[in-house]
Structure 1
Amino acid sequence: MALEIDNIRNQFPQLERKVHDRPLIYLDNAASTLKHISVIEALNNHYTNDVANIHRGVHYLSEHGTIQYEQTRDSIQDLLNAESRCEIIFTKGTTDSLNLVAASFVPHYVKKDDVILISTMEHHSNIVPWQIQAEKIEAKVKEIPITDDGDIDEEAYIELLKEGNVKLVSMAHISNSLGTINDIKKYISLAHDHGAYFCVDAAQSIAHEKVDVQDLNCDFLAFSSHKMFGPTGFGVLYGKEKLLESMPPYQGGGDMIDVVTIEKTTYNELPHKFEAGTPHIAGGIGLKPAIDFLIDTDLNVIKRYEKELLDYATQKINEIEKVQVIGTAKQKASVLSFVVDGAHPHDLGTLLDRQGVAIRTGHHCTQPLMKRFNVSATARASFSLYNTKEEIDIFIKALNKALNFL
């Protein structure tokens, strides 16, 4: 099975627009993906016809919205192969999901002098929440080093586990800066062998390959809707039911309660225990068609096609003098980070933008990783299923023109 690229591109209206009088070449998918037409239509329909609060009302619009919203939970359960729909918690995004685990899991499972392991390549949202909670209870956050290629240093990881007192490992499935695909199933098994729990940041993998939480046997897994062609401001936390049952609520308010008195409150059942307040209803409803699109397109096919794009772009960029690719792991997703001797990434990004090419520049919320490779920032092109080799050719031509100018 092959992707019908022209047909797919027609399903993303933003690809028709121009930037600086040039056709848009959108290569910033690791930051956020464009929105599928079915998502746009779902959002428009909700705000035009179906606005009402959910879970509480007995009138038609409330009940209709509740059904639509909860159908998304069922779709995510199927997408992840979760054992139960109550293991699917709706959040604001990956960052919110990780903060939920940090705030609710850590104080009850991690004690003074215990260890939380994170790797050098983590996004700041998979670093800072653990630091905040560890400081409160005098636990320790330790670093799993990476190799010069951008892989996890497996021997160092095992040694850290052997040192003892490791209660939690939190790691990206795919690095947003390097594109490294971590052997997450193996690393989860190693953590469990040493009595540690494991949290997966799946923000960069959820739209690029099949993620099966039962096969991985992860304890928690977090991702965002906007990385998978869905609305912004909406995300998911998967957690094993027994763990979620044992954890206190992350926030208090409406919908997460059972009985409230001035003296004491009892909490709602999962998943609602962790979903305080009126949610991003349209975001939840709008995510379902994005999931349907991914499933219909076939994540295995998507992964193969994006690998072709990455290999092609890597070959082309390596032909340019003075360019250094940052992140050369054997197993990579469609992320290409690079620096150019004598050219600042921000200047490159600006000059490419004037030619209609959108890439990302900066530290990508991975400052420890930048320090590891002795750079302050990189330029990053990241590809999705609607990108083409022809667009990569335009990107390379624009990059050469920018370098000649500089």
Structure 2
Amino acid sequence: MTENATRPAFPTQRPSGCPFDPASGYAALRDREAPSKVSTPAGVDAWVVSRYNDVRTVLRDPALSSRSAPSDHVIAAVELDREVESGSILQVDGLAHRRLRRVLATEFAVKRMEAYRPRVAKLIDEHIDAMLAHGGPIDLVEAFALPIPSLVICELLGVPYEDRAEFQERSAVLVSIDADPDEVTRVADALNQYMAGLVMAKQADRADDMLSRVITRGEELGENLTIPELVTIGITLLIAGHETTANMIALSTLALLREPGQLEALRAKPELAATAVEELLRYLSVIQFGLFRHVTDDIPSGAATIEAGDYLVAALSAANWDAEVFENPGELDVARQGSAHVAFGFGPHQCLGQQLARVELQEVFTRLYARIPTLRLAVPFDEIKFKDNSLVYGVQALPVTW
């Protein structure tokens, strides 16, 4: 451990009364000439890279290793040097990472995701129908934001949808920054056992689903994936495939309800859905604590040199609010054009499932607000509880009516 009590603490708290703003402290770090070191909850000091151009530069630098989980720096009880699980596409580097990505990339290609768009649209319409039949008030998280991406990723992977409640509960534990370590171990073991059973069933009886195709493609490419690798891949895709998108659906809806002019612009021009998605990804940056990396070789960054052996955090939300790149970054503008955000990361570890997320969010933005034009909060805004203790930012519940 290299904890230094004299260093400022890593920013984790958002400004009081401003739940959509990045954590307080990022702006001051971004305004400095060079990256600064901070003390992290994990008990190590880490450089924070917070300018947009610097974040993109470091994330594509091969001197950065992702061998820790993406946001380990904010988990106090974490073991930073633990062994990387076989098949962890989020944590392996270099040739090992390219091997896994090569097998998986076809599954998330733009053409395949676009082919799945009509099915996504149908699922969304069915859930809106159910909401309208039920009537308000209703929790948009439980009735819509969570089931849509859960059903989508279950269908794609070949996971029985009736098992969704279990993996939703378990994934919530795994993305919490203050979960009991024993509970995390228990949940992880249970998920591993569940996925191992599913993987072995797919190996014995292939179907037209992602897990089956990945097994087959690995064989065809001479990259036979082991059961532990397939288990880790399956769990990663299952959790990532619903946690981020579900939180984006609910949090984006809340942000738009707080900006009725922007919501009306989107309703008036549904063709703005694609740009609105990119803007809300930038504006909200739900991977709220950034990406944690180990430095394997010296990296010059501004007026500082980040040395081999150091730790580094690429602050995605700070980069996405960099006024040098985004004009008036604190303003939500669904028609914003210009520089690409880094909400999906950047470089070799850029989010593999980003095209699927875009399809889901675009279809939600096109359909939900048009079909329920009077959608509004059913409780005062001050009563909304946010997921400040989760690696993926969002709301715990979103009571709405119409």
Larger radius of gyration: 1
TM-score scaled by length of structure 1: 0.28
Pick the structure with more helix per residue.
2
TM-score scaled by length of structure 2: 0.28
Pick the structure with more strand per residue.
1
